[in-house]
A = this chain, B = another copy of it.
């Protein structure tokens, strides 16, 4: 337990990290076709240029009419109306309705100016050629979608900082907004360090392991809305790391270094980052497991993160600290909504107080509902996460969770 006592809790760490970024540090906007903007972050505020719908429309197939002409109508005493035409789809409704006249209208069709209601086809029958019986009274406005009912001219319909889902793409198109300003994806430089780390395409000799972190992190970055820039592998020598970090400082928006796994390799990462500018390292170690040796720094306005070399720790820690920083640079106004899956823990889990634990679990369906089974991996091996469906967060104040406890599984 003592090892976590002088470390920052994760919430305080992320807050210190985000707050050290200058207010104007957002990435610059770029103009893209709206149809290609799914999941991008909008960088402008848009007011409705016209009402939506742009004209009164029928919500049913039937007859547009004047409601007062159907007053008191019922099957025993129908109202008789003369059909004076049909509103063609996609054409303006030009007819002027006079007393006791009606016009055929289809769902979505425009309502003629003098008409104030629509009677459904089912509530009418033919009297004779050119005349219908209306079998019930209709109220003013009935079966009409009013001009501007969805959106009025000038309504602030889209805000800067919004993420664009399929419905926003459609809503923009409804107003003819075919090009928009979105936040440029922040360039996230990813550097793997370690004398034992080799590129995946090569065959390891005894003592060597293939690079995993460059790939788990670059895909995580892409998913979070960033542009991953794999900077390759550098050795544990200080000069090499310094040279690569300085290049990233020139070219990228965020730098991520997965440190070699030994204590000295981690110290080198921290030293190099500190030497690059101010304020430098803000957080050195966070009270979480896995992910404790995480380094959070801001160097001349640029965020830099040192992650543990272990692939599981690196990926979990990047989810906690790198993803929110990418969102911060995108200007993404996250609402705090997070979906999860409720499940029952299958076994007792011990946890130290003073640190937050992130436990990989597999979710199995049972007759009693979903069960969360911890995926054990003594030393945080990558297949621990491959066998898992998500993570369970065990709060810092908890000494553990009993079997049967309801937990929230945050699916990957």
Measured CB to CB, the residues of A under 8 A from B are 34-35, 38-39, 52-55, 59, 61, 87-93, 106-110, 145, 149-151, 157, 165-171, 173-178, 194-198, 200-213, 215-220, 222-223, 236, 260-265, 309, 311, 315, 335-342, 363, 365, 370, 377-379, 381-386, 389, 409-412
Taking A92-B207, A108-B262, A174-B212 as known contacts, 4 extra A-B pairs with beta carbons closer than 8 A to each other, sorted by chain A number, are A61-B264, A91-B206, A107-B263, A176-B210
Q: How far is the CA of A242 from the CA of B341 in the complex (A)?
A: 45
Which residues on the B side are within 8 Å of A166 (C-beta)? 215-217, 219-220, 223, 315, 412
Give A108's nearest chain B residue, CB to CB: B261
Asked whether A170 lies within 8 Å of B382 as measured between CB atoms, the reply is: yes
Asked whether A38 lies within 8 Å of B195 as measured between CB atoms, the reply is: no
Which residues on the B side are within 8 Å of A409 (C-beta)? 339
Q: A165-B412, A206-B110, A309-B108 are in contact. Are A378 and B170 (CB under 8 A)?
A: no
Asked whether B145 lies within 8 Å of A173 as measured between CB atoms, the reply is: no
Which residues on the B side are within 8 Å of A384 (C-beta)? 150
CB distance from A60 to the nearest CB of B (A): 9
Q: How far is the CA of A386 from the CA of B159 in the complex (A)?
A: 12
CB distance from A115 to the nearest CB of B (A): 14
Instruction: List 10 A-B pairs, minimum CB-CB distance, nearest first.
Output: A150-B381, A92-B206, A90-B196, A170-B216, A339-B339, A106-B262, A173-B200, A167-B385, A107-B261, A89-B195
